[in-house]
Structure 1
Amino acid sequence: MLNLLWDLDGTLLDTYPAIDGALQGALASLGHAVGLAEIIPLTRVTLGHAIQMLAARLCVQEDALWQAHGQAEARRSGQSAPSMPYARVVMAKVRACGALNLVVTHRDREGAISRLQAAELWPLVDDLISVSDGYARKPDPAMFLAAMDRHALKPAGCLAVGDRELDIRAAHAAGIRAALLVTPGANLAVEVEFVLPDLKALLGVLNTDLPA
């Protein structure tokens, strides 16, 4: 059984509706009505990319947009993100087979843990590596390398699961095979070992004898 190195936002948790809504609300507070169809492809790269591109397009200061987004997100703080379909099933299967569920995320540690607890996934997480630990953001492989080092894992025994190109690039830079969860707006301009229509498809991957 492979150890899974999970991305959080958009992979384990369905956080994108809140992210997109907060950014749309932030833009509205600055006097710009922008449709979700324009926002979604940008946030699927990164939130920072979306803010940079929209700020330039609308002649808004990036710092002002970040601040407005933070305020909009705070207003939504009581809205918990649900787990993605089949996330709990796959994580339980990994745990039952004696492998590890490791979360590798850009989100700060406190925010990541609180969201996983709200979605009732935290008991299935064996460890969490985040930018709060001082590691560079993906596509830098530092967080993946740290996770493997912490648990004495070899790349051949791991599979990274994410929904964005930067997840795949970071995994490959660490020597890890990857699975891409294809969600609306996902970028497929990257070679990846497995493409997943949903997380249930991971069960088939985990039951396959993969070459080292």
Structure 2
Amino acid sequence: MIRHVIFDLDGTLVDSCRACMTIVEQMLADRGVPRRLDERRARTLISRGGKPLVRGLMGDACLDADADLAEFRSRYADSRTPETDLYPQVRQGLEQLVQAGLSLAICTNKPQNLCDAVLRDTGIAPLFDCVVGGREGLRAKPEPDLLGLALDRLGASASQCLFVGDSEVDHEVAHALAMPFLFAAWGYAQEGWNPHPSPRFATFGDVTRAIIALLEPEDARRYG
């Protein structure tokens, strides 16, 4: 029986694309190379991780990827994430899942301190029993380290969980641990990608209704 729902963060619960673009545009302007970034390209880079995102958006202005990533993360930590960056129906949907008796968790490659800040700023932190962000010593998704840590902290098996994510990376890590996967089609996946046979959802409200329906006696394996 499903007892826990684990969510990715960026592209699943929060649309962080504009915030990331603004920070990189500020970095470029400070270096004397002001540039308007392409949002479509930014969206394809976000799920690949911080370094590919910064390097991809900065282009030839990125001379030291590690230093530029550190600067990007420092600026991100100094910013605030408005509640309006939550995707539509996210807060209401999460509250409904908690009221239905489910335990909620986050598993994201976003560094733990930035993840905690985003959840706090948007006001949804109290809804989660477990928050696992990127950290030293554990490999990023799609490697199974972070999702495995989330399972350990929840005291759960993969069969007791659903993973809701928006990208190929999320699908791959869920598949590696044999965890049922629900595809958030509003996020940052490559255009046209579809994780068949996992179901595709157009809105967070659709995801919420599907999960609540699973609490009735029903076979969750169709979400594999």
TM-score range (shorter-chain normalised) is: 0.7 to 0.9
Structure 1 counterpart of 2:94, one-letter code:
M
Question: Using the alignment, how far apart are the partners of 1:99 and 1:26 within structure 2?
Answer: 41
- Residue equivalent to 1:127: 130
Structure 2 counterpart of 1:60, one-letter code:
C
Question: Using the alignment, how far apart are the partners of 1:64 and 1:131 within structure 2?
Answer: 18
- Residue equivalent to 1:17: 18
- Tell me the SS of whatever aligns to 1:49: helix
Q: Which runs of 4+ in 1 moved over 4 A?
A: none
Shift of 1:191: 2.0
Residue among 196, 205, 220 paired with 1:200: 205
Shift of 1:131: 2.1
CA 19–132 in structure 1, closer or farther in 2 if over 3 Å, else same: same
Is the counterpart of residue 191 in structure 1 residue 195 in structure 2? yes
Shift of 1:133: 7.1
Shift of 1:166: 1.0
Q: Is the 8 A contact 2:184 2:202 kept in 1?
A: yes
Shift of 1:205: 1.8
- Residue equivalent to 1:41: 44
Shift of 1:134: 4.1
CA 26–210 in structure 1, closer or farther in 2 if over 3 Å, else same: farther
Q: Is the 8 A contact 1:181 1:199 kept in 2?
A: yes
Percent identity over the alignment?
20
Residue among 73, 90, 114 paired with 1:87: 90
Question: Using the alignment, how far apart are the partners of 1:22 and 1:9 within structure 2?
Answer: 16
Question: Using the alignment, how far apart are the partners of 1:13 and 1:184 within structure 2?
Answer: 9
- Residue equivalent to 2:62: 60
CA 112–19 in structure 1, closer or farther in 2 if over 3 Å, else same: same
- Residue equivalent to 1:181: 184
Question: Using the alignment, how far apart are the partners of 1:170 and 1:36 within structure 2?
Answer: 28
**Runs of 5+ consecutive residues of structure 1 not aligned to the other structure:** none
- Residue equivalent to 1:29: 30
Q: Is the 8 A contact 2:161 2:180 kept in 1?
A: yes
Question: Using the alignment, how far apart are the partners of 1:155 and 1:63 within structure 2?
Answer: 34
TM-score using structure 1 length: 0.83
Shift of 1:86: 1.4
- Equivalent pairs counted in the alignment come to 210
- Residue equivalent to 1:5: 6
Shift of 1:89: 2.0
Instruction: After TM superposition, list the pairs within 5 Å mapping 1:136-151 onto structure 2.
Output: 136-151=139-154
Q: Is the 8 A contact 1:163 1:183 kept in 2?
A: yes
CA 87–134 in structure 1, closer or farther in 2 if over 3 Å, else same: farther
Structure 1 counterpart of 2:37, one-letter code:
G
Residue among 136, 156, 159 paired with 1:156: 159
For the aligned residue pairs, the C-alpha RMSD in angstroms reads 2.6
Shift of 1:178: 1.2
**Runs of 5+ consecutive residues of structure 2 not aligned to the other structure:** none
